[in-house]
Amino acid sequence: MTIDLTHMSPNDAVAALRSYPRRFRSVLAPIADDENIEEISQQAGPDGQSAVEITADAVRTWTVLREALRQIQVADTPVVHASVADASQRHWETPVSETVESVLAQLDDEAAALAEAVSSMESSEWSRTADVAGGGSVTALDVVREAVRVGHDDLDSVERTLAAVRR
């Protein structure tokens, strides 16, 4: 079950995006010198993905969403990838070969870049739309809310995966 973000403002989104690096770190690496954290975080959970893979997917998705936001801001008639509006379209061909620290560093960078992109937008830009490849449309605010939802849902998935692996 995901959260209801229909009333989330851009300022709330910025705060949430800026909080995700700390929150993911507290789940993935709660004790910095724990020797087992790398092994545990690389083990596949019940859904077939490891905590590191789930976190890397959040980073990849945020990158796509940030680019969609940029397109909405600068293009006259933007068209964004189908994965912006449809999570089932998010298939990454490159396997994840990250460590806990490297994926957390990437998450830090992408969350900061996305939060900066959101905070730099004017209030008049939030209703700008883009066509979604394959059909439909999204507003800039829809894209931002999706980024927050991805962070929330993937953080929950990381927690569930680590709990299952530790059992």
Amino acid 1: pLDDT: 59
pLDDT at 31 over 90: no
Asked if residue 162 belongs to a domain, the reply is: yes
- Whether residue 25 lies inside any domain: the answer is yes
**N- to C-terminal Cα distance for the chain?**
23
Asked if the structure places residue 2 within a domain, the reply is no
In-domain check, residue 31: yes
Instruction: With respect to residue 3, please indicate whether it lies within any of the assigned structural domains.
Output: no
Tens-digit pLDDT profile for residues 81-96:
999 998 888 877 766 7
Burial of 167 (0-12, 13-18, 19+ CB in 10 A): exposed
Q: What is the pLDDT of residues 106-152, one digit of tens each?
A: 999 999 999 999 999 998 999 999 999 999 999 999 999 999 999 99
CATH for 46: 1.20.120.450
In a domain, 62, yes or no: yes
> For the whole model, what pTM was predicted?
0.92
Boundaries of domain holding 61:
10-166
19 in a domain, yes or no?
yes
Asked whether residue 5 is domain-assigned, the answer is no
DSSP letters along 85-133, please? T-GGG----SPP---HHHHHHHHHHHHHHHHHHHHTS-GGGTT-EEEET
Structural domain total, the chain: 1
